[in-house]
């Protein structure tokens, strides 16, 4: 692509067109469905994937005469998010009505927040793969309600164009949402993806949302523009509803490419909402902002202002778990982990908890980290399950590491035993005992084997004696072959030197 | 039994003593509806079968096991949701709509054992001052069938005046209980904003709407308000009353100071109304109360502020009538936007459309500050005026309406003249204050109401003062329909 981006660049990066350098400016708006028991303004349960219109009531269907009542737990969850992002919490916050007609919006207005949001002025420290950290400003964190869901029937695409008719499912309508609006602080699609990934990790960590992009409990809109370095901000477009991390990155790449190409052709960018088609990789313009809605925001008269006192904020703050950034620093400082491992473990709360338990039991934090981020994570990823569902409990992994530590198992054997543990859910020690897998650490047994090998290979023995150290590995190989790899390598080395020395 | 002499309390006592059964009482009122409603037109729906079934159930309960008000009938303005009972706001767009739930006030009355006679006519979506904006029918003033009953709770006022129900519920956004009560010669009260739950009241303007009683006397108003008041988990803006109401007993006004709002006695005020009002002031003096004229300079801007705020909220509140989930949906639309346009064009009447347009306009970007923000500031100024006034006096008084009931069709072509009907009542809504209208006398044979406004949550005191004034005023005649209907 012409708007090639520089990966992992925390400094202003961007794209180089044929006519020189372009700087890319990206801001993200994230919608998070809160995992409260009930909806934002009524007592219907929050559900996913149920029979359409089975979790509705007069309130969330917008029947005449009904009134909203704010969900206290949702306010608490939103406060957690705002605090975790370092926002200032408003002591007086109100809801507004955002007015527009659409069949999935039963009241024809969405209850949202406007000029007095719950939280403002936060940031998220985003860590890139190379360990560098760049802060992304968080403009605001506000509360609102989700709309229902349209199902377009007939037609080929499942999209509204060409559909024979449309049905509305209001189960989702009224689900509590939090919107997190970032500052336009990102300069590459990779940065945007890293921000999104780490925001997702944070939200997961806070236990306030399922943060599942495919199911729509985490949704991302991106505002993107390009400009010459140092120039004023360019005209932005809004990429809507990208439902995976990969699509966010690819969509941004495609839109940046389109904008740069257009500008270099002397065209002007028109402020618009655009859609990225992940199948064709192409961008289509949905609607121009010039014909956009006037939402006629005004304060929601059916709800009273929420007054938040210092004591409440402190109570919520005290209930926050250790946040990923702090945990990452602690893992490096206290356990001596590499930044990369610490980052992975801190980003995933259950995985971090698992690691800490293994480290505590095994007494070897770095080894524990290697196993948790390595073999264990590889298995979890391929099985598509979380660490909570792992067949190997932290105690069992620590047991395996103990066998590794006392020399009973080599690294290679330990990996094999670990596979058996994953398959059977049994303890390492039992597997080793039963199958006879375990290192031969009996010096007498090994000495017999080694003596025979040395005797059978006079040529290499002579070479070694003349100082060719490399030949040692030939002998190690022979010993391992005979012992089917079960010999303790350290002991083999030691005994070989003794025997070869003659 | 003379139905015109029956208060709701009298109904309760007759039931309690066993002199009448609930069935007899309900039939008495249903017969009166049958006798006069083809002329008065209060009812949009008479639930004869439902009411008689409810009454039979009451009669089957031993008297000593009944609740105090069990078996007493009531009628409801057609914007209060009753589960399964057609509720239309007198609008084509809600024709056939049967709410899936009871309004909180309806649930309270149901729990207290009251019997619902039916639903009452109103200006469409409570927008109007004469009930002429009903898409269904005219309601005529029981005192003079060529005149309007006022509005928007015209059916609620007329049905009590014509003794078609002992009492009724209405709603008041800018005077919609008090003004028709005044024009029909009954008592009507708008409580402090938040005293009565709005859950199940189909909203006109959420920050102004309150449900309240229309009754034959002040004590019935106290009793009915006590039945419906209360904090409600379904309405965040509800708070209830500081204490349950007790029956007013005060007969003199010694030590009470009343402020006469000078701004409401200007040229808009008819001489005949002024005369009756002066008589009321004299009666207050006679009862030991003190009256002084006060200026509340901002209240004159109330009408202008109201006709920005109320339409703004209404434009949003009425957006849900889009043909998607309930009510009217136009046939033959070619696409979604066309369906919206046709449904709403066919479903709403002229006045409702006018206010939706005004409300949409004043909330539009670029106009919001000039209109909506200014109107909210004015609202604050009006509330400040009242606060200052209540530092000097206990209650404020004025005529409820600048005129007596006007002729049918007289103001329909002149919206501004119609809007002036609510000149004196709107400020109490803007400030959220409780206000009551009681009959103060007749002008050329037509009722004139006295409005008494109190500080927030002063309902008990306000009712006491109104009761004391009522003992000295009262109407000397019955509405003409009483003669004709007998």
**Residue A72 pLDDT exceeds 80:** yes
The shortest CB-CB distance from A97 to any of B198, B202, B316 is to B316
Cis bond leading into B152, ω under 30°? yes
* Residues A177-216 pLDDT 10s: 999 999 999 999 999 999 999 999 899 989 999 999 989 9
The answer to whether B381 and B371 have CB atoms below 8 angstroms apart is no
Contact assignment for A298 to B312 by CB distance below 8 Å: yes
Cα–Cα dist A264/A228, whole Å: 11
Element of type H or E holding B16: helix B8-17
Side-chain half-sphere exposure of B207, counting CA atoms within 13 A: 20
> Of B320, B321, B365, which to mutate for an interface test with A (greatest number of A Cβ within 10 Å)?
B320
pLDDT band at A7; cut points 50, 70, 90: very low
In the numeric block, which tokens belong to residue A95?
């809801």
What proportion of chain A, given as a percentage, has pLDDT over 70? 92
Cα–Cα dist B296/B261, whole Å: 7
**A178/chain B closest Cα distance in angstroms:** 21
**Residue A9 pLDDT exceeds 50:** no
**Residue A2 pLDDT exceeds 70:** no
What residues does each domain of chain A span? 15-312, 322-435, 443-500
**A98/chain B closest Cα distance in angstroms:** 9
Burial class (CB in 10 A: 0-12, 13-18, 19+), B19: exposed
* B227 falls within a domain: yes
**Which pLDDT value is given to residue A80?**
98
Lowest mean pLDDT among A125-129, A180-184, A340-344, A401-405: A125-129
B325 touches chain A (CB under 8 A): yes
* B345 falls within a domain: no
* B199 falls within a domain: yes
**Which of A229, A269, A272, A276 minimizes the C-alpha distance to A248?**
A276
Contact assignment for A64 to B312 by CB distance below 8 Å: no
Cα–Cα dist A75/B420, whole Å: 44
Cα–Cα dist A78/A97, whole Å: 19
The answer to whether A237 and A273 have CB atoms below 8 angstroms apart is yes
* B97 falls within a domain: yes
**Residue A13 pLDDT exceeds 50:** no
By annotation, the residues of B acting in catalysis are: 77, 152, 176
Residue B206 vs residues A192, A417, B175: alpha-carbon distances, Å:
42, 69, 14
The answer to whether B423 and B263 have CB atoms below 8 angstroms apart is no
**Which of B215, B172, B168 minimizes the C-alpha distance to B195?**
B172
The shortest CB-CB distance from B201 to any of A65, A69, A301 is to A65
Chain A residues within an 8 Å CB radius of B319: 99, 101, 107-109
The answer to whether B45 and B119 have CB atoms below 8 angstroms apart is yes
Element of type H or E holding A200: helix A189-206
3-state DSSP assignment of residue A431? helix
Class for the domain spanning A443-500: mainly alpha
**A69/chain B closest Cα distance in angstroms:** 6
Q: Secondary structure of B289-306 in the HEC alphabet?
A: CEEEEECCHHHHHHHHHH
In the numeric block, which tokens belong to residue A35?
């995992």
Contact assignment for B233 to A69 by CB distance below 8 Å: yes
**B61/chain A closest Cα distance in angstroms:** 33
Cα–Cα dist B287/B403, whole Å: 26
* B347 falls within a domain: no
Dihedral sign from CA coordinates of B261, B264, B265, B270: negative
* Residues A445-478 pLDDT 10s: 788 888 888 888 888 888 888 888 888 888 888 8
Kindly report the number of other CB atoms within 10 A of residue A266's CB atom. 6
**Which pLDDT value is given to residue B474?**
77
pLDDT band at A153; cut points 50, 70, 90: confident
* B387 falls within a domain: no
The answer to whether A201 and A348 have CB atoms below 8 angstroms apart is yes
**Which pLDDT value is given to residue A219?**
94
Contact assignment for A64 to B87 by CB distance below 8 Å: yes
**Residue A21 pLDDT exceeds 70:** yes
What does the buried/exposed string (b/e) look like for B71-93 if buried means 16 or more CB atoms within 10 Å of the residue's CB? bbbbbbbbbbbbbebbbbbbbbb
Mean pLDDT, all residues of chain A: 89
Burial class (CB in 10 A: 0-12, 13-18, 19+), A81: buried
> Of A291, A298, A305, which to mutate for an interface test with B (greatest number of B Cβ within 10 Å)?
A298
Q: Look at chain B and report how many structural domains it folds into.
A: 1
Contact assignment for B319 to A109 by CB distance below 8 Å: yes
**Helices B218-228 & B104-112, crossing angle to 10 degrees?**
110
The answer to whether A157 and A116 have CB atoms below 8 angstroms apart is no
Domain of B198: which CATH number? 3.90.1300.10
Residue range(s) defining the domain that contains residue B131: 3-256+393-485
B4 touches chain A (CB under 8 A): no
pLDDT in tens, chain B (486 residues): 789 999 999 999 999 999 999 999 999 999 999 999 999 999 999 999 999 999 999 999 999 999 999 999 999 999 999 999 999 999 999 999 999 999 999 999 999 999 999 999 999 999 999 999 999 999 999 999 999 999 999 999 999 999 999 999 999 999 999 999 999 999 999 999 999 999 999 999 999 999 999 999 999 999 999 999 999 999 999 999 999 999 999 999 999 999 999 999 998 899 999 999 999 999 999 999 999 999 999 999 999 999 999 999 999 999 999 999 999 999 989 999 999 999 999 999 999 999 999 999 999 999 999 999 999 999 999 999 999 999 999 999 999 999 999 999 999 999 888 999 999 999 999 999 999 999 999 999 999 999 999 999 999 999 999 999 999 997 878 999 987 544
**B196/chain A closest Cα distance in angstroms:** 14
- DSSP for B199-224 reads TTBPPS-TTT-EEEEEESSHHHHHHH
Chain A residues within an 8 Å CB radius of B194: none
Residue B175 vs residues B42, B172, B208, B366, B437: alpha-carbon distances, Å:
18, 5, 10, 31, 10
**Residue A264 pLDDT exceeds 50:** yes
Contact assignment for A107 to B233 by CB distance below 8 Å: no
Dihedral sign from CA coordinates of B437, B438, B440, B441: positive
Q: Strand B187-190 to strand B210-215: parallel, antiparallel, or no bridges (unpaired)?
A: antiparallel
Kindly report the number of other CB atoms within 10 A of residue B338's CB atom. 12
What does the buried/exposed string (b/e) look like for A9-42 if buried means 16 or more CB atoms within 10 Å of the residue's CB? bbeebbbebeeeebbbbbbbbbbbbbbbebbbbb
* B222 falls within a domain: yes
> Of A66, A102, A162, which to mutate for an interface test with B (greatest number of B Cβ within 10 Å)?
A66
């Amino acid at each position: 692509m012409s708007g090639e981006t520089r990966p992992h660049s925390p400094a202003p990066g961007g794209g180089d067109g044929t006519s020189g350098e372009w700087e890319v400016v990206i801001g993200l708006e994230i919608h998070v469905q809160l995992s409260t028991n009930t909806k934002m303004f009524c007592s219907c349960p929050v559900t996913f994937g149920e029979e359409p219109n089975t979790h509705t009531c007069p309130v969330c269907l917008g029947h005449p005469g009904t009134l909203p009542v704010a969900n206290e737990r949702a306010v608490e969850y939103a406060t957690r998010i705002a605090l975790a992002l370092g926002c200032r919490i408003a002591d007086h916050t109100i809801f507004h009505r955002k007015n527009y007609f659409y069949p999935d919006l039963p009241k024809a207005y969405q209850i949202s927040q406007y000029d007095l949001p719950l939280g403002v002025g936060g940031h998220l420290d985003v860590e890139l793969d190379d360990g560098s950290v760049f802060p992304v400003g968080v403009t605001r964190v506000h509360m609102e309600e989700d709309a229902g869901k349209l199902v377009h029937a007939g037609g080929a695409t499942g999209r509204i164009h060409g559909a024979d008719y449309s049905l509305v499912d209001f189960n989702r309508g009224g689900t509590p949402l939090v919107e997190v609006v970032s500052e336009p602080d990102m300069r590459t699609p990779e940065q945007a993806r890293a921000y999104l990934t780490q925001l997702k990790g944070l939200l997961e960590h806070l236990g306030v949302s399922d943060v599942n992009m495919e199911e729509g409990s985490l949704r991302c809109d991106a505002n993107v523009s390009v400009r010459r370095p140092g120039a004023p901000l360019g005209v932005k477009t809004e990429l809507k509803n990208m439902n995976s991390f990969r699509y966010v990155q690819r969509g941004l790449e495609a839109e940046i490419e389109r904008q740069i190409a257009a500008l270099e052709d002397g065209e002007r960018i028109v402020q618009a909402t655009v859609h990225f088609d992940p199948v064709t990789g192409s961008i289509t313009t949905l609607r121009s902002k010039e014909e956009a809605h006037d939402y006629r925001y005004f304060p929601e008269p059916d709800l009273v202002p929420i007054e938040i006192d210092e004591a409440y904020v402190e109570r919520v703050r005290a209930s926050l778990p250790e946040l990923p950034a702090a945990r990452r620093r602690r893992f490096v400082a206290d356990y001596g982990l590499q930044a990369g491992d610490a980052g992975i473990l801190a980003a995933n709360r259950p995985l971090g908890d698992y690691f800490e338990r293994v480290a505590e039991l095994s007494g070897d934090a770095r080894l524990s980290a290697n196993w948790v981020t390595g073999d264990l994570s590889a298995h979890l990823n391929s099985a598509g399950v979380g660490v909570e569902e792992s067949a190997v409990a932290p105690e069992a992994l620590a047991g395996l590491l103990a066998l590794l530590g006392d020399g009973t198992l080599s690294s290679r054997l330990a990996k094999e035993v670990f596979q058996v543990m994953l398959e059977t859910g049994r303890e390492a020690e039992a597997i080793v005992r039963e199958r006879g897998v375990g290192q031969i650490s009996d010096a007498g047994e090994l000495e017999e084997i080694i003596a025979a090998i040395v005797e059978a290979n006079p040529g290499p023995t002579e070479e070694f004696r003349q100082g060719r150290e490399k030949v040692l590995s030939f002998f190690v190989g022979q010993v391992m072959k005979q012992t089917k790899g079960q010999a303790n390598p350290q002991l083999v080395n030691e005994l070989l030197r003794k025997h070869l020395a003659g | 039994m003379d139905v015109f002499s029956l208060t709701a309390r009298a109904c309760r006592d007759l039931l309690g003593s066993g002199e009448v059964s609930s069935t007899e009482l309900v039939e008495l009122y249903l017969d009166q509806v049958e006798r006069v409603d083809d002329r008065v037109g209060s009812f949009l729906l008479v639930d004869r079968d439902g009411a008689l079934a409810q009454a039979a159930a009451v009669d089957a309960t031993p008297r000593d096991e009944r609740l105090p008000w069990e078996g007493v009938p009531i009628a409801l303005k057609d914007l209060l949701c009753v589960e399964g009972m057609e509720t239309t706001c007198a609008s084509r767009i809600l024709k056939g709509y049967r709410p899936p739930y009871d309004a909180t006030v309806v649930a309270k009355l149901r729990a207290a054992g009251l019997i619902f006679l039916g639903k009452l006519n109103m200006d469409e979506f409570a927008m109007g001052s004469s009930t002429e904006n009903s898409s269904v029918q005219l309601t005529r003033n029981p005192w003079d069938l060529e005149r309007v009953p006022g509005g928007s709770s015209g059916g609620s006022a007329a049905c009590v005046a014509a003794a078609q129900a002992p009492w009724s519920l209405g709603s008041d956004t800018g005077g919609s209980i008090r003004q028709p009560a005044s024009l029909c010669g009954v008592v009507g009260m708008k409580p402090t904003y938040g005293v009565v739950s709005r859950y199940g009241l189909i909203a006109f303007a959420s920050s102004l709407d309150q449900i309240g009683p229309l009754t034959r006397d002040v004590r019935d108003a106290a009793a009915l308000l006590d039945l419906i008041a209360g904090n409600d988990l379904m309405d965040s803006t509800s708070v209830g009353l500081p204490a349950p109401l007790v029956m007013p007993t005060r007969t003199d006004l010694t030590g009470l100071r009343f402020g006469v709002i000078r701004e409401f006695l200007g040229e808009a005020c008819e001489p005949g109304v002024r005369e009756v009002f002066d008589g009321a002031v004299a009666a207050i003096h006679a009862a030991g109360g003190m009256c002084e004229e006060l200026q509340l300079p901002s209240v004159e801007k109330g009408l202008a502020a109201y006709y920005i705020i109320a339409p703004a909220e209404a434009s949003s509140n009425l957006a849900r009538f889009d043909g998607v989930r309930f009510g009217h949906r136009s046939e033959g639309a070619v696409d979604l936007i066309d369906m919206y346009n046709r449904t709403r064009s066919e479903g709403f009447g002229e006045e409702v459309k006018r206010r939706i347009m005004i409300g949409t306009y004043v909330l539009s970007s670029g106009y919001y500050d000039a209109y909506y923000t200014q109107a909210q500031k004015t609202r604050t100024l009006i509330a400040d005026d009242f606060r200052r006034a209540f530092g000097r006096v206990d209650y404020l008084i004025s005529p409820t309406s600048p005129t007596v009931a006007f002729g049918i069709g007289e103001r329909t072509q002149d919206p501004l003249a119609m809007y002036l009907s609510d000149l004196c009542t709107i400020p109490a809504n803007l400030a959220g204050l409780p206000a009551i209208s009681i009959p103060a006398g007749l002008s050329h044979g037509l009722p004139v109401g006295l409005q008494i406004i109190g500080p927030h949550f002063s309902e008990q005191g306000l009712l006491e003062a109104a009761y004391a004034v009522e003992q000295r005023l009262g109407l000397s005649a019955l509405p003409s329909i009483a003669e004709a209907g007998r």
